[in-house]
Structure 1
Amino acid sequence: MTSGGLTALASLLAGAGALGWPGRPRPVLPSGPRSVPPPSSARLVLDADLLLTLVEMVSVQVRAGASPTAAWRAAVDVLGLGPAGDVADPSGWLVAAGRQLPAARAAAAGWRLAERTGAPLSDVLDGVAGALRDESALAADVEAALAGPRATVRLLMVLPVGAVLLGQLIGADPVRVLTTTGPGRVCALAGLLLLGLGRWWMAHLVRRVGRGR
């Protein structure tokens, strides 16, 4: 094989590899607590797993007889969410967290409901925690269901490159045909365009399923 053919084959492999091996999305529920700035900060960070832990800790303490304020301050202190003075207003803090984590808005609404109506805070937070667990389980099920389609997409992206390599091994020299002849170049260009279009369409379908959960 000529040096020009080798260069063309390397370019084809690199392009198909970039199409066929996309990065995996960010995990739905990262584990472990994170440090969270006060509500006034625009960089407030809170994940669903940490929010669930926070809600459950407050609920357990209130059910055991602690006041809501004491339970909240103890929970945020244990989880390392910031000094008590920065999180003195639980519902306000949760509303600020809801700017990046919508589930925190439900916790804030539940807290305000308990404050205004006198409903048992522990029962309200238990309901919020149950909803968070259900949403997390659903997200995990969706990720598991999408694992197969993602693997299929990657396999289909690699197969055309494997066919070219097989043709080279048996002496058909498809690289020369695809790079030095007019019809071959048209076929190579059309194949790459269709490969990219198929990759985009499959990614679009996967994103729609993820948003629809």
Structure 2
Amino acid sequence: MILAALPLALLLAWVLAAPPVPAPPPPRARRPRRLAVGPLEVARLIEQLATVISSGSGIRPAWAAVARTLPDGDLRDLARAAAAGSDPRRSAAGPLHDSQMVSSLGAALTVCERTGAPTAAMLQTLAEALRDLHDAAQARRSAFAGPRSTARILLVLPVAGLGLGMLLGGDPLRLLTSSGAGRLLGLTGIALTLLGWWWMRRLIHRADPPRPSRVDPSVVLELIAGALESGLPLSRAVAAVAPSLPAGSDAAALARLSTALEAGVPASLATAGLPPGLAALGDSALLAETTGADLARVLRSAARDARRGRARDAEVLAAQLAVRLVLPTGLTLLPAFVVLGIIPTVMSLLGGTLSLASGGG
């Protein structure tokens, strides 16, 4: 009896005993937090750089001073490389590489070096411009969030038709895969769904195209204004800005403009081939040529107005897109909903009803 109770007592003691507490693992060395990189962070970096330079520091010591205040990350690596004399556009890594922000910064520093424009003032203007562009991009994303979400929801309509048919007691999926007529309906519904997806995607892409990684036209106007404020005429200011920009239509158009102005071509003819984003440069050049107005001030006002108007433009485009999405919905997705959900469900229910009636007869 005692021998039989001994194993039970040992088992009970093992169950009631508190489990051993494992020793806590040694704390892992926490990796230093890397600073998030975005337009606001770059704008803050540029503003700090402008503040240090305005106190009398040179460009390289200013970069070194700013680098010491930054946490570990891509911005700090960029500041250290610039302090060593590297072009920010070549030393930028991660999300900063070939970005609009760093391209604008490199162009501004190049223009200051070529023209002698005050670096601190140019960088402060650039920081404000980057903040405005960030606000405009946020407003654009908010404006298009509704139409994009609507498009995603509408694309689920055909699949929702299948689920609705199953909830009503039918078996549309079996009918779509087991008979010739069902397979024809299935192929038609899939084709209509794909057509609706392509159509909606095309409308969204046309209304909200991806932005190229280049210097924004409003920033280009600010750079030309800064070069003008250093005492250069318009032709030489444009000639200094053009090679500082990434290769593209804006740089080529400014190079042609500077050549034409140097040759004495009137502003009305020289500015005729400018891209739409730089149209304000043509209007301002004509105004300055005919009235002697301060061209730099006019260009800065035009640049600010262009950035502020983008939020309103985005709201208008998003509203137009919401209306245009009605077409693919009515012509492709709703028919696909009927073909994949309603018709197979009705056919399956009627087939079951007819079989029951024939069996009862």
Q: Identity of paired residues, percent?
A: 35
2:145 aligns to what? Answer: 147
1:39 aligns to what? Answer: none
Distance 1:67 1:99 in 2: 25
Counterpart AA for 2:171: D
1:53 aligns to what? Answer: 44
Deviation at 1:144, TM superposition (A): 0.8
Structure 1 residues 84 and 102 mapped into 2: Cα distance closer, same or farther (>3 Å)?
Answer: closer
Counterpart AA for 1:93: P
Query: Could you report, residue by residue, the CA deviation over 1:2-25 in whole angstroms, capped at 9, with x for unpaired residues?
Result: xxxxxxxxxxxxxxxxxxxxxxxx
TM-score by length of 2: 0.42
Aligned mate of 2:111, from 110, 113, 117: 113
Superposed CA RMSD in Å reads 2.7
1:82 aligns to what? Answer: 77
TM-score by length of 1: 0.68
8 Å CA contact retained: 2:177, 2:183: yes
8 Å CA contact retained: 1:77, 1:83: no
2:88 equivalent to 1:93:
yes
Q: Any unmatched runs of 5+ in structure 1? A: 1-31, 35-45
Aligned mate of 2:172, from 171, 174, 179: 174
8 Å CA contact retained: 2:112, 2:118: yes
Deviation at 1:91, TM superposition (A): 6.5
Q: Any unmatched runs of 5+ in structure 2? A: 1-33, 212-309, 311-361
Please give the residue correspondences for 1:115-134 in structure 2 after superposition, counting only pairs within 5 Å: 115-134=113-132
Deviation at 1:157, TM superposition (A): 1.8
Distance 2:54 2:210 in 1: 36
Distance 1:197 1:174 in 2: 22
Structure 1 residues 91 and 142 mapped into 2: Cα distance closer, same or farther (>3 Å)?
Answer: farther
Distance 1:135 1:33 in 2: 21
Query: Could you report, residue by residue, the CA deviation over 1:88-123 in whole angstroms, capped at 9, with x for unpaired residues?
Result: 356612354375213312211211222333322111
1:13 aligns to what? Answer: none
2:35 aligns to what? Answer: 33
* Higher mean C-alpha deviation, range 120-129 or range 82-91: 82-91
Structure 1 residues 90 and 162 mapped into 2: Cα distance closer, same or farther (>3 Å)?
Answer: same
Deviation at 1:148, TM superposition (A): 0.8
Query: Could you report, residue by residue, the CA deviation over 1:68-100 in whole angstroms, capped at 9, with x for unpaired residues?
Result: 322211112322423976333566123543752
Structure 1 residues 71 and 83 mapped into 2: Cα distance closer, same or farther (>3 Å)?
Answer: same
Deviation at 1:152, TM superposition (A): 0.9
8 Å CA contact retained: 1:91, 1:111: no
Structure 1 residues 110 and 90 mapped into 2: Cα distance closer, same or farther (>3 Å)?
Answer: farther
1:161 aligns to what? Answer: 159
Query: Could you report, residue by residue, the CA deviation over 1:37-96 in whole angstroms, capped at 9, with x for unpaired residues?
Result: xxxxxxxxx643432222111012222343332221111232242397633356612354
8 Å CA contact retained: 2:63, 2:80: no
1:135 aligns to what? Answer: 133
The structure that has the greater radius of gyration is 2
8 Å CA contact retained: 2:43, 2:127: yes
8 Å CA contact retained: 2:48, 2:66: yes
Structure 1 residues 75 and 85 mapped into 2: Cα distance closer, same or farther (>3 Å)?
Answer: closer
8 Å CA contact retained: 1:72, 1:90: no
2:156 is paired with a residue whose SS is helix
Structure 1 residues 121 and 90 mapped into 2: Cα distance closer, same or farther (>3 Å)?
Answer: farther
Distance 1:123 1:49 in 2: 18
1:188 aligns to what? Answer: 186
